[in-house]
């Protein structure tokens, strides 16, 4: 879907790209927590699950609302508004990918060996 949004972006089909950006956000929420009935409930569930911070929510809401305006109100976004929305969409996707990659990294990283007790410390502790 992102490739199609990029194609619309490069064709200067700003409304279409904005609608696609909105759809990507909606799908990303659904992948994380399932269909909760509407966008606001989905964000509520993401916050309850600690998958979305209070600071991130208005950023995602801004992009989603811009997509809704293009879809339902015929809004023609400026190139700057569209680029900001695409940045937000990429951030959402990047966070989702990084979460999985971080799990893989943790699994692939050897655990630290337990430290051997310092013999000088042990002698002080037992001498007193």
For residues 30 and 22, give the distance between their C-alpha atoms in angstroms, rounded to a whole number: 13
Question: Residue 17's pLDDT is what?
Answer: 97
The mean pLDDT of the chain is 90
CA angle 92, 93, 96 (to 5 degrees): 90
Q: Is residue 122 very low, low, confident or very high in pLDDT (cuts 50, 70, 90)?
A: low
| Structural domain that includes position 117 | 2-127
- Between the alpha carbon of residue 90 and those of residues 4, 69, 96, 123, the distances in Å are 14, 20, 10, 57
Contact 45, 93 (CB under 8 A): no
- Total number of domains constituting the chain: 1
Question: Residue 18's pLDDT is what?
Answer: 97
User: Is pLDDT larger for residue 14 or for residue 34?
Assistant: 14
User: Is pLDDT larger for residue 120 or for residue 16?
Assistant: 16
For residues 82 and 128, give the distance between their C-alpha atoms in angstroms, rounded to a whole number: 71
Q: Is residue 35 very low, low, confident or very high in pLDDT (cuts 50, 70, 90)?
A: confident
**72-95 burial, b if ≥16 CB within 10 A, otherwise e?**
eeebebeeebbebbbebbeebeee
User: 0.85 cut: is pTM over it?
Assistant: no
């Amino acid at each position: 879907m992102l490739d199609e949004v990029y194609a619309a972006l490069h064709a200067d089909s700003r409304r279409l790209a904005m609608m696609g950006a909105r759809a990507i956000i909606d799908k990303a929420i659904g992948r994380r927590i399932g269909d909760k009935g509407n966008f606001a409930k989905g964000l509520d569930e993401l916050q309850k699950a600690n998958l979305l911070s209070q600071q991130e929510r208005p950023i995602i809401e801004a992009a989603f609302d811009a997509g809704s305006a293009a879809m339902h109100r015929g809004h023609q976004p400026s190139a700057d508004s569209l680029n900001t929305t695409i940045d937000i969409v990429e951030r959402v996707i990047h966070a989702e990918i990084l979460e999985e990659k971080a799990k893989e990294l943790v699994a692939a990283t050897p655990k630290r060996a337990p430290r051997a007790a310092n013999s000088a410390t042990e002698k002080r502790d037992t001498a007193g």
